[in-house]
């Protein structure tokens, strides 16, 4: 299992990659007035969903039992 530091680096790397791809896509839309291919949008959505799964894995902990 990956350590917290390794997961953090994985997330940072994935975010940088996604940001670069989205920037390129944005430039195509704004400067070249072309829409991205549907396949490219689906690939980015898949990458974002995978990243979300990594991030959510840390936040979905079981709540502590309370003594009422």
Q: What is the pLDDT of residues 14-63, one digit of tens each?
A: 999 999 999 999 999 999 999 999 999 999 999 999 999 888 876 655 56
The whole-model pTM stands at 0.72
pLDDT of the residue at 28 = 94
Q: Is there a contact between 14 and 51 (Cβ–Cβ < 8 Å)? A: yes
Residues in the chain: 68
Short-list 24, 20, 16, CA closest to 51: 16
Give the per-residue pLDDT at 56. Answer: 86
Predicted local distance difference test score (pLDDT) of residue 65: 62
Question: What is the torsional sign of CA 18, 21, 23, 29?
Answer: negative
Report the alpha-carbon distance of residue 15 to residue 7 in Å, rounded: 12
């Amino acid at each position: 299992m990956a350590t917290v530091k390794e997961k953090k680096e994985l997330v940072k790397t994935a975010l940088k990659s996604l940001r670069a791809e989205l920037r390129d896509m944005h430039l195509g839309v704004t400067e070249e007035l072309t829409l991205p291919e549907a396949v490219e949008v689906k690939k980015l959505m898949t990458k974002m969903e995978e990243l979300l799964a990594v991030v959510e894995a840390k936040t979905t902990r079981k709540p502590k039992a309370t003594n009422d």
